[in-house]
Amino acid sequence: MNYQERIKSLQAILRQNPNDTKIRKALALLLSENGFTQEALAHLIHITNSSEADSSVYYNLGILYEKLKNIDT
């Protein structure tokens, strides 16, 4: 399965259960790896608004902000 099919599959699962943070995180990482930085950022920010955000979510957020040159210094 190529990355486009995997993205579509994860999106379909997420439509069925929008509160599944594991699927949302997997989707965000896959999107990020394939150049969809803004979309990945939106998913990770969504996760930070839940109680299930862990350190890897914040780590990956930092990476995306750096890619977007959106870091306050």
Residues 6+ positions from 67 with CB-CB distance below 8 Å:
37
Rounded to whole angstroms, the Cα distance separating 42 from 5 reads 20
Give 14-58 pLDDT, tens digit per residue. Answer: 999 999 999 999 999 999 999 999 999 999 999 999 888 899 999
Would the pLDDT of 73 be above 60?
no
- State the pLDDT confidence band at 70, using cuts at 50, 70 and 90: low
